[in-house]
Amino acid sequence: MAVLVIADHDGSIVRDTTHKTVTAARALGGDVDLLVVGQDARAVADAAAKIDGVRKVLLAEGAGLGKALAEAVEATVLPLAEGYDAILAPATTDGKNYAPRIAARLDVAPISDIVEVVAPDTFVRPIYAGNALETIQSSDAKKVITVRSTAFAAAGEGGSASVETVAGGEAPKTTFVGEEMVKSDRPELGAAKIVVSGGRALGSAEEFHAVMDPLADKLGAAVGASRAAVDAGYAPNDYQVGQTGKVVAPQLYIAIGISGAIQHLAGMKDSKVIVAINKDPDAPIFQVADYGLVADYKTAVPELMAALG
Amino acid sequence: MKVLVPVKRVIDYNVKARVKADQTGVDLANVKMSMNPFDEIAVEEAVRLKEGKEHHAAGTATEIVVVSIGVTQAQETIRTALAMGADRGLLIQSDADLEPLAVAKLLKAVVEEEKPDLVLMGKQSIDGDNNAVGQMLAALLGWPQATFASKIEIGGGKATVTREIDGGLQTIAAELPAVVTVDLRLNTPRYASLPNIMKAKKKEIAMKAVADYGVDVAPRLKVQKVTEPPKRAAGVKVESAAQLVETLKSAGVL
């Protein structure tokens, strides 16, 4: 048994999602190799080689590989597929973009967003926005899987795998035009230990930032938002926590002025401790919150800031 | 430009899915069904491409064909798309819940027949949440793809698409023909007007069977069980922000 994990990185560092996907790969059993696809990604490959339990790192570099275009990743992975029983990628937007392409070309049913490895051919994954969990057994000889990283612990560091170079693929019909990444000094939403999220109750973009940003900075937290707040234009798209946005599982999740729609709960209910502040005592968010404070955020948040010192 | 829009009949967005007691699946008996919300956005964008709404030039799309694979009642889903402005429909009848790979293979056969320049579809269905069919269809056709679109511009033989990715937005250009899957913020779908609902009744829906396409749709995955996620117990109410901070500190969270 051999498993290939496609690494998630930003061109200079290996993201935590890779370490978590390695843990899922090790649960399948057998050897785990990592594939780093990128442009000038030698440093990433060297860092990836230190992840515990990795046999070797394959490095595919090329001028067109910096942006993980799905066609290019597909063309890089396909020639390597023969040597592996399973190909895993984190269920990031990149992983979700290229993994089904690889599966289709291998004539394999992709298995999306697994949260548990039951056996090397059997997995648990959420369906219906997390309202149900299905346990599925694959009859395909080769498996192509994306991994919900918040469901797995990160593999440690201390390994010393070798790095081998492999050929990179191309995306002849697709060109990268540009990108607009949100810059922030705060921790990344998906990886933060504390997340503070705001809802529609905040009423405007100005109010959202005036209330949420200082609280996040005080706690060293990432800022999230409900879909209602994002749709109303109070918070940018990539703040959205929920089934159609980010799925987070921090140590502490503080929901402010969020009612707790099903689709939001699906994105945060695996958080270790949930705190809800809402003036409506019947808000569904209180049904999942470990600690609830029935109060208007307008008075509760300043008091919270003061109590934090 | 001809646009093909695959649509799926799924549990309504506002209905909470309930797991069957025998753990064989989700109970869909007497549950309101609707068009998958992401597919509605795809239909809306196709109609805007035809009408020349927003930044699109009028007549960018010349014909919109809607295809669904599913039970006989999926005709209603197609009819909804026709009332929004699509031109004609195709239903491939299947009582079995087909896997994404099988759906992609059937759609490939439809694409080979219809020869569209663009396939516009939802990024995922809200029942299976696989987020796979569009990518698989593109791969099987050898076409480029642009997933999770929040803006689409057609011109110069290309689809220039802004994609919602982790951490921000990415813009790529894909040569046509291409598959574009759409995300929530691309547009807000219209409600069909009564005259358009009446007009849609006269539009054609062709009926086919899965067997007509001669593709392998055998399942590769066996569902062993479907269960409810573990419930979180409701916790305690605190009286003040100060008490909240104290409680979190003594619980070791802060």
Q: What is residue B231's predicted lDDT score, i.e. its pLDDT?
A: 84
Cα end-to-end span (Å), chain B: 58
Tell me what the mean pLDDT of segment B34-59 comes to: 96
CATH class as words, domain B2-250: alpha beta
| Chain B contact for A267 (CB, 8 A cutoff) | no
Of B19, B169, B240, the CB nearest to A180: B169
Closest among A33, A42, A35 to A13, alpha carbons compared: A42
Determine whether the interchain pair B172/A69 forms a contact, defined as Cβ–Cβ distance below 8 Å: yes
| CA–CA separation, A7 and A43 (whole Å) | 13
Determine whether the interchain pair A179/B168 forms a contact, defined as Cβ–Cβ distance below 8 Å: yes
Q: What are B80-130's pLDDT values in tens digits?
A: 999 999 999 999 999 999 999 999 999 999 999 999 999 999 999 999 999
Distance of CA A109 to the CA centre of its chain: 22
Position B230 confidence tier, pLDDT thresholds 50, 70, 90: confident
Q: Name B252's Cβ contacts closer than 8 Å, sequence gap at least 6.
A: none
| Chain A contact for B227 (CB, 8 A cutoff) | yes
Which helix (H) or strand (E) segment is A26 a member of? helix A16-28
Q: What is residue A209's predicted lDDT score, i.e. its pLDDT?
A: 96
Flag residues of chain A having pLDDT under 50: none
Q: Note the ipTM here.
A: 0.95
Domains of chain A in sequence order: 2-166 (3.40.50.620), 194-308 (3.40.50.1220)
What's the order of all strands across the beta sheet hosting B168-175?
Answer: A174-181, B168-175, B158-165, B145-155, B178-182, B118-122, B2-7, B63-70, B88-93, B205-209
Q: What is residue B221's predicted lDDT score, i.e. its pLDDT?
A: 98
Domain boundaries, chain B: 2-250
Of B139, B172, B238, the CB nearest to A101: B139
The helix/strand/coil state of B159 is: strand
| CA–CA separation, A172 and B157 (whole Å) | 14
Residue B236 confidence (pLDDT) above 80: yes
Specify the pTM.
Answer: 0.93
Which helix (H) or strand (E) segment is B91 a member of? strand B88-93
Residues of B within 8 A of A138 (CB-CB) are: 220-221
* Structural contact between residues A276 and A284, judged by C-beta atoms closer than 8 angstroms: no
| CA–CA separation, A86 and A147 (whole Å) | 12
Closest among B232, B231, B252 to A292, alpha carbons compared: B232
